[in-house]
A = this chain, B = another copy of it.
Amino acid sequence: MRISELSRQGGAPVATIKFYLREGLLPPGEPTARNQADYSDVHVARVRLIRTLTSVGQLSLSAIREVLAAVDAAEPHVRDLSVVLNRAMFTDQVAANDIPGGDSARRHVDKFLEGLGWQVQTDSPGRQTLAHALAALRYLGWDVDAEVFLPYAAAAQTLARQEHAALPDEAAANVARSVLLGVALTALRQLAREDAAAS
């Protein structure tokens, strides 16, 4: 198909698709004539994925670039891209190293995760994000330790195991579900808080 048809099916303006091509987010089409190329359903799927990760998933283009590189490099039946995805999403996070107590919070978080028996890499970005959250809670005057996260960890583990048991074969679908279910969980927590306040 031509770029105009790719635009229609992918739901993005031609200018946006040209931008994706220039940025290397979208592989080039098959050249057919000077300044023309032929695109396939693979391109349609990729345009839809980029749009969705941007608008609903709120990922930056640089995070999406990292995720797509991992998707393209993945073995045909890679079962889980969670480590790569976590790293890519972390590039969107502002460094929060200026919150006092970060080092101590990090040690508590590491110990907490060890206590849970979770197998996560030492440099997994989630450790640092969790440490930032703990340091910030303390900094703002709540005298808690990492144990306050226990119910959240239990909920996260239940959901992650269910997700892992139903992982799609395809790497791109794998990434999309992970991001979108994360968006859904955040929305549901907001709604549940509203319900709890009203009940």
Residues of A at under 8 Å CB distance from B? 11, 45, 48-49, 51-52, 54-58, 79-80, 82-83, 85-86, 89, 93-96, 98-100, 113, 118-121, 124-127, 129-130, 132-137, 139-142, 149, 151-153, 155-164, 168, 173, 176-178, 180-199
Contacts and interface: CB of A to CB of B under 8 A. Distances in A.
Contact of A192 (B49, B151, B160): B160
Which are the 3 A-B pairs with shortest beta-carbon distances?
A160-B192, A80-B197, A164-B196
A195 B118 contact: yes
A139 B129 CA distance: 31
Nearest to A52: B136
17 contacts: A48-B139, A56-B133, A58-B94, A83-B197, A118-B194, A119-B199, A120-B198, A133-B184, A133-B187, A136-B176, A140-B180, A142-B173, A151-B162, A156-B191, A156-B192, A157-B195, A186-B186
